[in-house]
Structure 1
Amino acid sequence: MSLATILAAVAGAANSGGFFALGQYTSHMTGYLSQLADNLVLGNLWVSLIAVLALGAFITGAGFSTYLINWERLHSARRQYALPIALQGVFLLLFATGGVFTSELGRLFALCCLCFIMGMQNATITKISGARIRTTHATGMVTDIGIELGRAAVALSAPASGIRPDKSKLRILLTLVAAFLGGGVVGAVGFSEIGFWFALPLGLTLLGLAGPGLRLR
């Protein structure tokens, strides 16, 4: 639970960083799908290409994380999550260097890098939790909170129904949403003040989380 909370906070900070540094919320793939559809109709091919690259980077990150986790399960099951978390930290450090590039291609690299990280993290926490939570997917978490509150309302109005909320899941979801929000506030302040370089402490945080596991490999 502590790991998921830290990852959610980092995701919130990185997502806010994407907006302040790039003008894009990089965990929001629904938005990119809508952006792609709208701009294909409008004939804005450059914007459509950006959406395609963002979606592709997110999917590739999720696939890469899943590959690493399953590879580790075959070779060192006890440390199966250390390597993907460490690599997310490395990619956040690379994202920090995106501020060095002032060209449009440099910013596009930074966008794809951050989407790749988001995909990696979403897949990693999905595998860790058995698909119960996804730290970069706030829409899903908020939906699940609503579902549990609805079940609680049924339990109050019709106790004999046997329907009960999953209090443990609800507590986890509320904690993760709060962590994502808190991380977002910190990220918004950090990226607005110092730009891309604020990704450095985020990357170092993930490397610190993964360090013990990597040392014991």
Structure 2
Amino acid sequence: MLISEGDKRSFRIDGQLAVLFAAIAGALNAAGFQAAGFFSANMTGNASSFSDHMALGDWSLAGLFAVFISAFVLGAMVSGLLIQWGGARQSRAKYAYGIVLEGLVVFVLGGADLLQVLPTHGLILGLSFAMGIQNAATTRISNARVRTTHVSGMATDIGLGLATLLGAQSRDPESTARLRLYSMAMAAFIFGGILGVAAYLAIGGWLFVGMGVLLIAVALMRAFH
């Protein structure tokens, strides 16, 4: 799941990647909102909020959204650099490096949340960085077939897939597989969000600690499977 690239990847492998990491992203995004009132994966909404507050002259909130967006971009950049670094060394685990880092970040955020030592909005800043790492890694390894935090893209792909199926004279197996892939990813993101909020309300910061451990375990196991 975190090794195969390009033509070596099947829809089954991409489906596993999409469901697992979209569910994790949905859980972290929704739990972060429950905890701090901001989204860490929704860069479309954060960019719109930035524009809105800039237009209203609310510089402090505009700056906050700009920082969230910058953290996401920085995470994606770091993820890309780790992939390049691993590729230069011909490491089969090059995509796992970013996921391990994401897991460590989420784990530390969970611990800081439990100890109540996070600065204001620090949880969302860290989660935005983590979401950037994850989305970049899953995008690169799947040749952009899977974007685990980008729900607008998932919804667009589902709509285009439906149009292809409705307009085609014959049923196209690849189009059907793509539609199933995007639908599974979106459903996983939503379901993960529901579980994430429920878990955060029940156990608080332990959710992030557990998610961090899960990410690290998945990266280590799947990179060598």
TM (normalized to structure 2)?
0.86
After TM superposition, the structure 1 = structure 2 runs for residues 1-217 of structure 1, keeping only pairs within 5 Å, are 1=13, 2-100=16-114, 106-155=119-168, 159=169, 166-212=175-221
Give 1:87 deviation, angstroms.
Answer: 0.7
Deviations for 1:99-125, whole angstroms, at most 9, x for unmatched residues? 25758x713221110000111111010
Deviations for 1:8-37, whole angstroms, at most 9, x for unmatched residues? 110010011111011112111111111111
User: Do the aligned residues in 2 keep the contact of 1:26 with 1:111 (CA within 8 Å)?
Assistant: yes
Amino acid at match of 1:52: A
Runs of 4+ that moved beyond 6 A: 162-165
Deviations for 1:125-181, whole angstroms, at most 9, x for unmatched residues? 0011001120000110111001010111112xxx28x98871111111111112111
* Gap runs ≥5 in structure 1: none
Superposition RMSD in Å: 2.1
* Gap runs ≥5 in structure 2: 1-12
Deviations for 1:69-112, whole angstroms, at most 9, x for unmatched residues? 11101113311111111111001112213425758x71322111
Q: What percentage of residue pairs aligned between the two structures are identical?
A: 34
TM (normalized to structure 1)?
0.89
User: Do the aligned residues in 2 keep the contact of 1:13 with 1:185 (CA within 8 Å)?
Assistant: yes
In 2, the alpha carbon distance for the partners of 1:52 and 1:197 equals 28
Q: SS of the counterpart of 1:106? A: coil
User: Do the aligned residues in 1 keep the contact of 2:114 with 2:206 (CA within 8 Å)?
Assistant: no
In 1, the alpha carbon distance for the partners of 2:143 and 2:159 equals 20
The structure richer in helix per residue is 1
